[in-house]
Amino acid sequence: MNRFQKALKRIPTETPPIWMMRQAGRYHRHYQSLRKNHSFLDLCRNPNLAAETALGPIEDFDFDLAILFSDILFPLDALGMRLSFAETGGPQLLNPLTPESLLKL
């Protein structure tokens, strides 16, 4: 049983589990090398690339686990709001919810 499984079962471990939130793009070499060849959307939407992005910190910092790399706004895309990411302007919803669009539902 690994440390994470022990922690889930409330079995004491030699190292207590911690939660880290990170924005990899600002500093992580692994992420930066992936971004040279792939867009942010590709890293989020392609399962193999998302997994490779998520594994970077595990390999570089010896973390026990990672959460799959994605963006919090993707559910809005699935709801038809057409999410896009401008390289300089950040996320954009091309079909945002408005009072008028809600009346059409």
**In 3-state terms, the chain is what percent helix, strand and coil (to 5)?**
50, 10, 40
| Strand-pair category, 90-93 with 83-86 | antiparallel
Predicted local distance difference test score (pLDDT) of residue 46: 92
pLDDT of 36-53, one tens digit each? Answer: 999 888 888 899 998 998
Amino acid (1-letter code) at residue 59: E
pLDDT at position 103: 78
Using DSSP's 3-state secondary structure scheme, residue 38 falls into coil
Work out the average pLDDT over 49-68.
83
Mean model confidence pLDDT for the chain: 83
Name the residue type at position 86: A
Q: What's residue 23's pLDDT?
A: 65
Distance CA 47, CA 53 (A): 10
Quick one: pLDDT at residue 45?
86
Question: Cα(58)–Cα(22) distance, rounded to whole angstroms?
Answer: 13
The predicted model scores a pTM of 0.66
